[in-house]
A = this chain, B = another copy of it.
Amino acid sequence: MTLRTSNLPKADTRASHIEIVITDILEAAQEEFAVNGFAGARMQVIADRAGYPKANVHYHFKNKTSLYLAVLDRIVTRWDDYLNDISVDDDPAVVLDTFIREKVQFSFDEPSASRLFANEIIHGAPHLRKHISSQIRPYVIDRVAVIQSWIDAGKMMSVDPMRLIFLIWSTTQHYADFQSQILIVTKQKKYTQEYRQETADFLSKLILSGCGLTLPSKNNELT
């Protein structure tokens, strides 16, 4: 609505101004791509939502595909930031509990990112194949090894570690990807803070218990 160019603080440099424009466009694009998919997304809508003329969007991003890739890259990067390191010496219960709660939080906090990602995978991951095999796969293999060592050490029940990771991914993502269905079934307008909390508690409890684990004692001081 308001023209960014005319009412910026004096101290603003060109570089930082550009960053704002780019971010505006990326955020608008993420929303549009998440809601309508790549093919369904409209450059005009993205431009409108970001608050710039369409040609401006094309100035900063060569074409629709490169804009989409930029959005994906941004999501994937933020995703990777969430990935915490775990070690053989850690307590399985604590690690899994933390992992689950972080994933749940991500789903509730950034549903459009989650949906865009899901969309890309459902459609065969045409733009993410490389990232999956070079980043995600090593990550999974690494965690699998640690979980397996816990099992070997008798610290938890014997369950297939990779499928356990898939299970955690799926159950947590579900609340973002299938939000519309869940809200209708539960007759809610939107997720409440309480619902989020109970969901995290539920998932943590059921999954840990499914692995034969229990949290040490105190477990309610997470954000």
Contact = CB atoms under 8 A, between A and B. Distances in A.
A123 interface: yes
Nearest to A164: B206
A205 to B, nearest CB: 7
Contact of A121 (B37, B173, B181, B186): B181
Interface in A23-49: 35-40
Contacts of A119: 37, 119, 122
A210 B167 CA distance: 13
A180 interface: yes
Contact of A159 (B129, B157, B166, B205): B205
Q: Which residue among A125, A170, A207 has the maximum number of chain B CB atoms within 10 Å of its CB?
A: A170
Contacts of A175: 166
A135 to B, nearest CB: 11
- How often does this chain occur in the complex, in copies? 2
17 contacts: A35-B123, A36-B123, A115-B122, A118-B118, A119-B122, A121-B178, A122-B178, A124-B180, A163-B203, A164-B206, A166-B175, A167-B203, A167-B206, A169-B178, A170-B174, A170-B178, A206-B207
Contacts of A164: 206
A53 interface: no
A133 interface: yes
A104 to B, nearest CB: 12
A167 B100 CA distance: 13
A136 B181 CA distance: 9
A42 B184 CA distance: 30
Contacts of A212: 209
Given A121-B177, A137-B184, A210-B210, 14 more contacts: A36-B123, A118-B178, A122-B122, A132-B185, A133-B185, A136-B185, A157-B209, A162-B186, A166-B174, A166-B175, A167-B174, A169-B178, A209-B209, A209-B210
A83 interface: no
